[in-house]
Amino acid sequence: MNKLSFSSILLVLFLLGATPVPAAEMAQLPLLFCVYDMGETNAFKPLWKLLDKEAIDYRILAVDAAAGRLQGNDKVIAIKTDARPDSDWHTQRSARIDSDTLAELARQWQVRLVISGMASGAQAETLNYFRDKQKSYAIAYYDNLDSVEHKPFVQAFLGKARQIDRFWVPASIVRDDMGRHLEIDPSVIEIVGQPSLESWDQTYRQFSANALKQELGIPADKKVVVFAGGYDSSYPEYLELFINTMKLNPEWETLITWHPKTDGSLEKQLVARASSKSIRAIPSSVHNTAELSVAANLVAVHKSTVAIQAAYKGKSVVYVAESDHSTPLIQYRIAPLASSQKQLEQVLRSTDSDSASARFSKLGLPGEGSALMLNLIRQQLQ
């Protein structure tokens, strides 16, 4: 059933004051997802593909802007909160879903399992409603590696959530952190990986370092550094620092990409100004950041999540950012932070991919997250 027809049914039922349907006569829905942010949405996409292959039925409640990111998916039900378009992010995340909307959904289906991200109060309301009204099993997935203590958006969810049966987290460091800061019994926290990383697995199966170097005219024995572009206010300063440093180190081939939210004009301008044969700006139409990283000895970022994706694939990573910038990769000494030319040159001299893989294992982040999630879902639906 497509989104338009489903929404129309909800409206008609609401206007006619439809009477509750006995549970025995309701359609059975094994799974209901609720998404709000890009992170959790991307994490669930590989899982949805597996569910489709296994013919396990599900629907996706896409709250506010999440619906736009899932256009064309016939499993999506677009849900609006009472947030005003001009409200700030905190107000938007705390906005409420109309309880009548949830009630009409509950009239359509008897839901066995609800899986939600933890990025908004509306998601907590959805879990609460189906658990209270239908005894649905409630799972909350935190897709981030950062401490929940330092993620204010989670507070909008936690402030409304009443009883969660299981928490899913990507890594053991997050389980430990969540148990400590939220005082959650570790036995209800399951480590399920981060399925959004699986797109990089596919890329690394598809491309080879030698073929990429040959295509781009890079000598086979030359070291390669790939810089993943950003867009925040301090980014231009650190991009310029990076390019100026690499100009002094032409033994490295430097490939620079730009963030999808930008047009690359800054990167192309600074590369042209450097006027170095060993520094190039590469558009995604040629190769995207993930593809280029296959040939990289080092992946550099400002504050991009590309750092985690590259480290997951065993690449050495460096953050080029302010001296007070902090991430789990920095905190656990998996990736260094370079805030000056001297610090960046130290990283260039000490790059070692073998130890990078060992360092990343400290996070306790398993691969094949979508398969882990699917297995847990099967167990719950038995």
Q: Could you read off the pLDDT of 275-292 as tens digits, one per residue?
A: 999 999 999 999 999 999
Position 85 scores a pLDDT of 72
CA atoms within 13 A on the CB side of 104: 21
Position 25 scores a pLDDT of 63
Distances (CA, A) of 18 to 25, 99, 100: 14, 15, 12
Residues 6+ apart with CB under 8 A from 149: 177, 181
Long-range contacts, 374-377 (Cβ 8 Å, 24+): 374/47, 374/50, 374/51, 374/54, 376/168, 376/190, 376/192, 377/31, 377/51, 377/56, 377/113, 377/115
Position 112 scores a pLDDT of 97
The amino acid at 219: P
Q: Which residue has the tokens 């995604």?
A: 284
Q: Residue 229 in contact with residue 256, Cβ under 8 Å? A: yes
Long-range contacts, 5-9 (Cβ 8 Å, 24+): 6/77, 7/77, 7/78, 9/108
Spatial separation of the C-alpha atoms in residues 4 and 9, rounded to whole Å: 9
Higher pLDDT, 356 or 235: 235
Burial-class residue 14 by CB neighbours within 10 Å (0-12, 13-18, 19+).
middle
**142-177: b or e for each residue (b if 16 or more CB lie within 10 Å)?**
bbbbbbbeeeebbebbeebbeebebbbbbbebbbeb
Query: In the structure encoding, which two tokens stand for residue 348, read together?
Result: 């260039």
Work out the widest C-alpha separation in the chain, in whole angstroms.
74
Position 215 scores a pLDDT of 97
The SS3 call for residue 110 is strand
Mean pLDDT of the 143-149 span: 88
DSSP code of residue 54: T
The answer, yes or no, to whether residue 353 has pLDDT greater than 90, is no
CA 148 to chain CA centroid, nearest Å: 15
The answer, yes or no, to whether residue 1 has pLDDT greater than 50, is no
The answer, yes or no, to whether residue 302 has pLDDT greater than 70, is yes
Spatial separation of the C-alpha atoms in residues 360 and 194, rounded to whole Å: 14
Mean pLDDT of the 44-56 span: 96
Q: Which of 132, 141, 119 is nearest to 376 (CA)?
A: 141
Can you give the C-alpha Rg of the chain in angstroms? 23
Pick the range with the lowest mean pLDDT from 177-186, 194-203, 312-321. Answer: 177-186
The answer, yes or no, to whether residue 2 has pLDDT greater than 60, is no
- In 10 A of CB 247, how many CB atoms? 16
Position 22 scores a pLDDT of 55
Instruction: Calculate the average pLDDT of the chain.
Output: 89
pTM: 0.83
Spatial separation of the C-alpha atoms in residues 103 and 15, rounded to whole Å: 13
Q: How confident is the model at residue 52 (pLDDT cuts 50, 70, 90)?
A: very high
Pairing mode, strands 279-281 and 252-256: parallel
Q: How confident is the model at residue 191 (pLDDT cuts 50, 70, 90)?
A: very high
Q: Which of 179, 176, 172, 165 is nearest to 193 (CA)?
A: 172
